[in-house]
Structure 1
Amino acid sequence: MRSRGAADVHTDRFDAPFALGRRRDGAVVRSILVTGDRFRDLAAQELGAAGLNAFLAEPDWDRLAALAEADGEWMPLADAVLTSPVVPRQVLQTGANYRQHVIELIAAGLTQNTDRTPGEARADAARMMDDRAAHGEPYFFIGLPACVVGDDVPLRLPSYSDVHDWELELAVVIGREAFRVSREDALDHVAGYTICNDITTRDLVFRKDMKEIGTDWYRAKNAPGFLPTGPFLVPAPFVDGSDVSLRLELNGRVMQDASTADLLFDLPALIAGASQTMPLLPGDLLLTGSPAGNGQHWKRFLRGGDVMTGSIQGLGTQVVRCVAETRPSPTENREVPS
């Protein structure tokens, strides 16, 4: 199927009878139902709820399935300017959650100043990760919902750094509120899934003024537009999130290529773990981590004119175009603390 954003027309495919989306209609953003190469607007009457998040709290997929088969005011999807398909109140992110990725990172450190071979270092790292998966807990941090945008918005790369990086991720969209739920019940609180690209400014991840503080995820991950999301929300009944492939291309070159089968902590563990501290609300996003192959690995970071094409099996494809922010003149320059 085809959709048109502000910058280009690209091909998106999801393996489901229908999906949800949102489109720009002048100054208004409307929820839509997408099936095949067409869409129709979803007002409260069609949703059977006051709005998108209210629907996701008690999703009636049979209602939308019937609507997908009905006559009505269907329009070509190619005419829609798609934006982010969700309006989260909270965004939770997961770090260090792809087994092979973390093994390679740890092994690289284990081979420095030791007598271990690379193979021995990887074996030691694998044992560490297996122990973490068996006895440890997921690592969460929070992002700003204001960073969630659609791929209709170009990614403006802030001029205060040259090391902005990509991280393609499967994102869980919460349905029914989840608070201190068990792993066994966790998936009952999932409304659907979407695609996120968690943009990160690498030289801001660790504080330099006081190393004891550790990571600074606020500055590293929360610039405007740093969480391209969508283009579709595919209902949970149509997706097996435990084993879907992820693939990110930069200007046509494959950079990330993995499967969620390699997650250290699976989706039920992540949802249950995240819900222990704060209730997860309908429409919230829970990012599940990013596999190997980001810019830090390739020693190649984002530049103006780059095009990222991120695909997740069954969820579609997101195309993000990068624009370099003009560096301010010395008289306009504002200091960015480091």
Structure 2
Amino acid sequence: MKFVRYGEAGQEKPGVLDADGGIRDLSVLMRDLGGETLAHLGALEGLDVAALPKIEGTPRLGPPVAGIGKFICIGLNFADHAAESGAQVPPEPIIFMKASSAVCGPDDPIVIPRGSDKTDWEVELAVIIGKRAKYVSEAEALTHVAGYAVTNDVSERAFQNERQGQWTKGKSCDAFGQLGPWLVTPHEIGDPQNLKMWLTVNGETKQDGSTATMVYGVAHLISYLSRFMTLHPGDVISTGTPPGVGMGQSPQQFLKAGDIVELGIEGLGRQRQAVLADDPA
């Protein structure tokens, strides 16, 4: 099943896609798609979606999960992306955090922050946790997944790499975490390690990869992270990006106001973002 949250920012309602790709209202069954609700999405597999109220028009889509507690990112998780970054494949996953305030809808604009000249793109597979996970094995790890989604791990490389401190400040600017359009349940997506992923800027292909080439797969990441922190329903893990980011271009290429970024992952939908500048008022 494909779940969505639709409506104006901060006022989204839960929905589900019908057989024709239309949105059906789920607010008659649940308050929102978040927290403990995520653990019970599997119980809706037999739901008569066509009997739910249909939403007319094309409303804005918000992030498909509400109340994200932790947005955990994995760095250099594709060997060819590590190479283009001038880095070695890490001996264990690199973990950093993206502020949950960066998360927005799949087609909400990318806003270049003030002082930025190296805002970059990264298509990534997002894993949405549905059941509390602490010290879980790889064999049971995927049973803790509520679903998968597309995310754009937008990054400001100068903030990230050329200033003091951790990567977090280069990853957490407002509108640096487009998520969605859908939360797709594991039953529908099948193997998360065999999904094509792509990204274009102004119609030119920049990233063309597959989750098959991850260094550390989804099950390993969930198990690994659960050794250091409890994963709660609604937590999001962004699992790394294939090569083709702006920092890896020759010459390097970064986003500017007026650009259009499009990206997607097989079975999980696509995103489209206009790039805007956060100019002083």
Fold match by TM threshold 0.5: yes
Is it true that 1:206 corresponds to 2:206 in the alignment? no
- Cα drift, residue 50 of structure 1: 7.2
Is it true that 1:269 corresponds to 2:220 in the alignment? yes
**Residue identity opposite 2:14 in structure 1:** S
The CA deviation string for residues 238-285 of structure 1, in whole angstroms up to 9 with x for no partner, is: 112111011001010000000011000111111111111111111110
Gaps in structure 2 of 5+ consecutive residues = none
Alignment check: 8 A CA contact 1:166 1:198 kept: yes
> 2:3 corresponds to which residue?
20
Within a 5 Å distance, the mapping from 1:104-143 to structure 2 comes to 104-106=84-86, 129=89, 136-143=91-98
Structure number with bigger Rg: 1
Give me the identity figure in percent: 31
Is it true that 1:313 corresponds to 2:263 in the alignment? no
Q: Structure 1 154/191 Cα, relative in aligned 2: closer, same or farther at 3 Å?
A: same
> 1:231 corresponds to which residue?
181
Within a 5 Å distance, the mapping from 1:91-240 to structure 2 comes to 91-106=71-86, 129=89, 136-206=91-161, 208=163, 215-239=165-189, 240=191
The CA deviation string for residues 285-304 of structure 1, in whole angstroms up to 9 with x for no partner, is: 00100111001112110000
- Cα drift, residue 232 of structure 1: 0.6
> 2:35 corresponds to which residue?
53
Q: Give the match's secondary structure for 1:74.
A: coil
> 1:118 corresponds to which residue?
none
Compare the two structures and name the one with the higher helix fraction: 1
Number of aligned positions between the proteins: 276
Deviates more, 1:21-30 or 1:235-244: 21-30
Is it true that 1:79 corresponds to 2:30 in the alignment? no
The CA deviation string for residues 24-47 of structure 1, in whole angstroms up to 9 with x for no partner, is: 15862101111223111112x524
**Residue identity opposite 2:257 in structure 1:** G
Work out the CA distance in 2 between the residues paired with 1:205 and 1:91.
Answer: 17
Q: Give the match's secondary structure for 2:51.
A: coil
- Cα drift, residue 155 of structure 1: 1.6
- Cα drift, residue 174 of structure 1: 0.5
Alignment check: 8 A CA contact 1:204 1:216 kept: no
Within a 5 Å distance, the mapping from 1:268-307 to structure 2 comes to 268-298=219-249, 299-307=252-260
**Residue identity opposite 2:197 in structure 1:** L
Normalised to the residue count of structure 2, the TM-score between the two structures is 0.91
Work out the CA distance in 1 between the residues paired with 2:277 and 2:96.
Answer: 27
Alignment check: 8 A CA contact 2:124 2:150 kept: yes
Gaps in structure 1 of 5+ consecutive residues = 1-17, 110-124, 329-338
